[in-house]
């Protein structure tokens, strides 16, 4: 694990613990739900580390559908091979 990955996971830990601490301090108030997304983001960072930042950057630059495009090309190739040759 690289330093950068450890840093991202540490940021996630701080976010999750901080959000849970704020929610606990609110003592069951409905406003505690406002920090719930922050806790989820922290949990995601703790689990995935720097990969979260890479995915967000790819989404922002339009590469979010790269996997689907590659899969579609593979399906077309497979279908083309399975089709019988056209006879005239």
**Got the DSSP string for 18-69?**
HHHHHHHHTTT-GGGGGGHHHHHHHHHHHHHTHHHHHHHHHHHTT-TTHHHH
Domain boundaries, the chain: 3-82
Task: Write the pLDDT tens digit of every residue in 18-30.
Answer: 999 998 898 878 8
Q: Rounded CA gap, 12 and 15, in Å?
A: 5
pLDDT band at 50 (very low <50, low <70, confident <90, very high): confident
Q: What is the pTM of this model?
A: 0.60
């Amino acid at each position: 694990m690289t330093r950068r990955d450890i840093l991202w996971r540490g940021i996630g830990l701080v976010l999750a613990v901080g959000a849970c601490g704020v929610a606990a301090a609110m003592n069951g108030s409905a406003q505690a739900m406002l920090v719930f997304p922050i806790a989820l983001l922290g949990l995601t960072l703790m689990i995935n580390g720097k990969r979260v930042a890479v995915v967000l950057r790819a989404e922002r630059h339009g590469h979010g559908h790269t996997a689907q495009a590659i899969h579609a090309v593979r399906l077309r190739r497979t279908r083309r091979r399975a089709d019988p040759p056209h006879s005239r």
